């Protein structure tokens, strides 16, 4: 338990330090930690779909009206770019090792290309996907968010999710891509800890506990993200009937 708390504090310190640095190794690892933290929040938000259309759409509504959303999106995009470019630089420096053993030395490169492809598909499907309108029924309160009045119009991301995941091909693209993302996180986390533990404020005795903590979070993240497309495609989409506008 102590190791998990120590690791969590180190993660918060790394996020607070930001990834804005000219040192490629530090930028790579700090951006990775920030992106993992974002994924945890994102995954928790995805789980609201299990509570129905009103809950999921209301959660999305509060997310959308957050005045800090544009800043968060910009910082997130910057983190992704920093992580990508610093990763490419580190890959270039060890290109000879990757050529000799691509599936061992180059596994993070290969998985990162698949993840990048997935991010493009995900943004196209949801952020820039069809805009359906939903009218709130009212009387619902979201923890840490609040409630909306009856009649409030918002984006129907619940319907959009059903539209996307009723397609078996798209569902399995998500399942495979999320699994690859999980592999990327699982493999990358250990490398981050072993090469960056001092800068994170950890000592040598904390390394194994930090690796176990990160691997546990990665497994939970992967399972959490997989649960949404699987649930929608195999259970929800067969029961849900869209109303005619």
In 3-state terms, what secondary structure has residue 28? helix
Give the pLDDT score at 243.
47
144: which DSSP letter?
A: T
Q: How far apart are alpha carbons 156 and 243 in whole angstroms? A: 12
Domain boundaries defined on the chain: 2-54+67-131+157-236
- What single-letter DSSP state applies at residue 244? P
For position 38, what pLDDT does the model report?
94
Distance, CA of 117 to CA of 124 (rounded, Å): 11
Write out residues in the chain with pLDDT < 50, as ranges. 241-245
- Rounded CA-CA distance 97/108 in Å is 13
Q: What is the reported pLDDT for 3? A: 65
Q: What angle do CA 114, 118, 124 make, to 5 degrees?
A: 150
In the three-class reduction of DSSP (H, G, I as helix; E, B as strand; rest coil), residue 153 is classed as strand
pLDDT at 141: 78
Helix (H, G, I), strand (E, B) or coil at 49: helix
What's the full length of the chain, in residues?
A: 245
- Which residues is 146 bridged to in the sheet? 142
Q: Cα(75)–Cα(53) distance, rounded to whole angstroms?
A: 29
pTM of the model: 0.88
Task: Please enumerate in sequence order all residues whose Cβ is within 8 A of that of 222, keeping only pairs 6 or more positions apart, or say none.
Answer: 178, 179, 181, 182, 185
Angle at 229 between CA 54 and CA 166, to 5 degrees: 85
């Amino acid at each position: 338990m102590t190791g998990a708390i120590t690791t969590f504090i180190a993660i918060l310190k790394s996020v607070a330090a930001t990834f804005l640095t000219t040192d490629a190794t530090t930028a790579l690892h700090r951006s990775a930690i920030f992106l993992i933290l974002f994924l945890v929040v994102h995954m928790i938000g995805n789980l609201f779909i299990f509570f129905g259309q009103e809950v999921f759409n209301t959660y999305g509504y509060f997310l959308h009206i957050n005045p800090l959303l544009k800043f968060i999106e910009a910082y997130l995009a910057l983190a992704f770019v920093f992580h990508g470019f610093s990763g490419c630089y580190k890959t270039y420096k060890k290109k000879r090792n990757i050529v000799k053993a691509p599936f061992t030395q180059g596994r993070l490169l290969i998985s990162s290309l698949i993840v990048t492809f997935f991010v493009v598909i995900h943004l196209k499907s949801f952020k820039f996907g069809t805009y359906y309108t939903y009218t709130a029924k009212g009387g619902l309160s979201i923890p840490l968010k609040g409630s909306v009045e009856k009649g409030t119009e918002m984006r129907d991301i619940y319907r959009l999710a059903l539209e996307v995941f009723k397609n078996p091909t798209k569902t399995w693209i998500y399942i495979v891509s999320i699994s690859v993302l999980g592999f990327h996180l699982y493999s990358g986390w250990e490398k981050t800890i072993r090469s960056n533990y001092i800068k994170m404020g950890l000592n040598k005795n904390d390394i194994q506990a930090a690796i176990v903590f990160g691997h546990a979070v990665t497994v939970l993240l992967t399972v959490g993200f997989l649960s949404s497309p699987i649930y929608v495609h195999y259970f929800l989409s067969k029961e849900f009937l869209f109303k005619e506008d």
